[in-house]
Structure 1
Amino acid sequence: MIIQTNETIDLKTPTGLMRCHIFRPVAEGKYAAVIFYSEIYQVTQPIRRLAAYIAGQGYIVIVPEVYHEYEPLGTVLEYDKEGTDRGNCLKFEKPISAYDSDANTVIEWAKTYEHCNGHIGTMGVCLGGHLALRAALHSDVKAAACFYATNVHDSTLGQGQCDNTIHRLNELKGETMFVFGRQDPHVPFEGRIQIQQALHKAEASYEWHEFNAQHAFLRDEGPRYDAALFQTCMELVIRLFGRNL
């Protein structure tokens, strides 16, 4: 499926303009939308390629710039120490309320987008895995694919490092999918057990996958990338969205 990858829109949020990058099929018709949350570096080339892959399966993929309050629109942080330090700093500086208002803004906009059929899903990696899960607390989100979601098990996302995501899983209306690498130091075994127990207690509809992989194994730059596992995970994503969206 041929897609277009150069569309952006700047949405007004309670905390300022948020640029969203849109990847979608060029063929006429209406498609389900997937709000895709990036890692701490914002919309890097690996994130763009992953968004394009999902769009090529017949979805509108909307990638918000998660740190729009703190960086000029269009900013991409580098995969180096400076970029990592900046991304991690902003992850804890931004209030949870701002993450939530961003999600509400883009979800409400997506429902009115002329190419969208009204069905909404979320997806994310790293920080974005947590944001995809938190956005899925919105009643209009029908499915969420959360890859190696950080700071869920210890409730430390956002300003004050005291988010409540793990305690609100009973609010999930759609199906969620969690994928973790067993060698990921950011979400240890004990943390993964905490998340799964919370999902069970909430009687959530979810699927759970763990692989022998490191953190950020989907990122097709750097030594952690696992191409075979990438293919396996994309099949899981397409099945999740196919049955829900």
Structure 2
Amino acid sequence: MIQIPTRDGTADAYLAHPGDGGPHPAVLLYMDAFGLRPHLKSMADRLAGEGYTVLVPNVFYRFGPAPVVELPEFIDPAERPEIIRNLGPAARTLTPEGAVRDAAHYLDWLAASPLTTDGPVGVTGYCMGAGLALRTAGTHPERVAAAAGFHGAYLATDAPDSPHLLAGHITAELYFGHADRDATNPADQIARLEKSLTEAGVEHRSEVYEGAHHGFTQADTAMYGSRATERHWAALLDLFARRLSR
């Protein structure tokens, strides 16, 4: 665990990197709404095992250090609806404007680290983190070479600050793995995202994972799907292998 100073405080974050101590391509991994916890650390460790230096910030740091709410080892929102309710105040501390400011600090930290190579980074995000990945690619285009989002939530809404509206600024290659059983990302929003990226000329691939639930990559939740998760890993590692210099 490390600490990253920001304009609004200090973000706690998890750092994973290969054990050789040398520089490796940087990856910024954005958490889902349940936050920085052992499972997300294990995902970062897997990426580090593939040769990347991975930063996983607690994006709710304004509310408090991770974990921002008490979590069981296995998360089933249907049985524990209070978990979602308790996360609400923490989630409200992260505005789109704050997310953009934070992204600059995270990218600065990675650029300054001796554990990272020079050049643009890769970004991946889960649930709400997919929107943060899209927003980071759109507001820091010169610093992001590849960005991915999985079971993303509210990526292309009618809101004036919806992440998809940044499509015209994106220079990274993008990949999205959508869950087809996901009330937070219905078919009309997937189509709107696809249209915005295509019209902006963004190099991208967008796939709907049939039978997958929102949260399918998160093995400590009731939404987990092993086949969809392995498909996600294959797509993510392919994207990063092509776009991030070693």
TM-score greater than 0.5 by the shorter chain: yes
**Alignment match of 1:190 (pick from 188, 200, 203):** 188
**Correspondence 1:69 to 2:62:** yes
- CA distance in structure 2 between the partners assigned to 1:236 and 1:38 by the alignment: 18
Count of paired positions: 232
Name 1:84's counterpart in structure 2.
Answer: 84
The whole-number CA distance in structure 2 between the counterparts of 1:69 and 1:63 is: 15
2:23 is the alignment partner of 1:40: no
Q: Distance in 2 between matches of 1:56 and 1:132?
A: 22
CA displacement at 1:93 relative to structure 2 = 4.2
1:26 aligns with 2:19: yes
Q: Which runs of 5+ in 1 are unaligned?
A: 1-7, 157-161
Amino acid at match of 2:103: A
Amino acid at match of 1:153: A
Q: Work out the CA distance in 2 between the residues paired with 1:94 and 1:210.
A: 28
Following the alignment from structure 1 to structure 2, what is the Cα–Cα distance between the partners of residues 112 and 155? Answer: 37
How far off is 1:149 after superposition? 1.6
Q: Where does residue 226 of structure 1 map in the other structure?
A: 225
1:15 aligns with 2:15: no
Aligned-partner Cα distance in 2 for 1:46–1:21:
12
CA–CA distance in structure 2, aligned partners of residues 93 and 110 of structure 1: 24
**Length-normalised TM-score, structure 1:** 0.89
Deviation string, structure 1 residues 192-245 (Cα, Å, up to 9, x no partner): 111111111111111111111110011112332111221121011111000000
Verify the 8 A CA contact 1:40 1:88 in the aligned structure 2.
no
Please say if 1:131 is aligned against 2:123. no
RMSD after superposition:
1.6
1:17-61 Cα distance to aligned partner (Å, 9 max, x none): 111110111113210111000011211222112111111111111
Is this contact kept in 1: 2:12–2:66, CA < 8 A?
A: yes
Out of 171-180 and 216-225, give the one that drifted further: 216-225
Q: What is the TM-score of this pair, normalised by structure 2?
A: 0.89
Runs of 4+ aligned structure 1 residues displaced above 4 Å come to: none
List per-residue Cα deviations over 1:106-163 (Å, max 9, x = no partner). Answer: 101101101100241110100111111111121211100111221221155xxxxx52
- Contact 2:34-2:87 within 8 A present in 1 as well: yes
Cα pair 1:9 1:20 within 8 Å, conserved: yes
Residues 10 and 18 in structure 1, CA contact (< 8 A), matched pair in contact too: yes
Aligned equivalent of 2:197: 199
Letter of the structure 1 residue corresponding to residue 54 of structure 2: V
Contact 1:12-1:18 at 8 Å conserved across structures: yes
Shift of 1:85: 1.7
Distance in 2 between the 1:91 and 1:59 partners? 28
Q: Is 1:147 aligned to residue 150 of structure 2?
A: yes
The alignment partner of 2:174 has SS state of strand
Deviation at residue 94 of structure 1 after TM alignment? 2.5
